[in-house]
C-alpha cells in the first residue's frame, strides 16, 4: 500500500476509534456514530482493500475475519 493510502487508512481508523469512544458516552448520537463507522468500514474495503469486518455481537472491528486481528490494534 502506498504511504499516502496507508496514512489515509490510519486517519479513517482514528475517526472510527473516536466514534467508538464517544458511543459509550453519548446515548443520543449512538445510531449516527454506528452508521458512520459502518460507512467508514465500507470505505476501507472499497477504496483501500482493507478487509474490515464488524462483529455486532461484540462491537469489535476485525481485519479479515471475526476473531482475527483487531482493526484498532493494527492502525
Judged by average pLDDT, the poorest of 5-14, 27-36, 37-46 is: 27-36
What span, in angstroms and rounded, lies between the C-alpha atoms of 65 and 36? 21
Find the helix packing angle between 30-48 and 3-23, rounded to 10°: 160
What average pLDDT does the segment 7-30 reach? 93
Cell 445510531 belongs to 31
Q: Which three cell numbers stand for residue 19?
A: 466514534
Total-model pTM:
0.91
H-assigned helices in 1-75? 3-23, 30-48, 71-74
Amino acid at each position: 500500500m502506498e504511504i499516502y493510502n496507508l496514512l489515509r487508512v490510519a486517519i479513517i481508523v482514528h475517526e472510527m476509534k473516536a466514534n467508538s469512544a464517544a458511543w459509550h458516552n453519548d446515548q443520543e448520537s449512538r445510531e449516527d456514530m454506528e452508521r458512520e463507522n459502518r460507512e467508514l468500514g465500507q470505505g476501507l474495503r472499497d477504496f483501500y482493500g482493507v478487509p474490515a469486518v464488524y462483529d455486532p455481537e461484540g462491537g469489535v472491528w476485525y481485519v479479515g475475519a471475526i476473531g482475527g486481528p483487531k482493526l484498532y490494534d493494527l492502525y
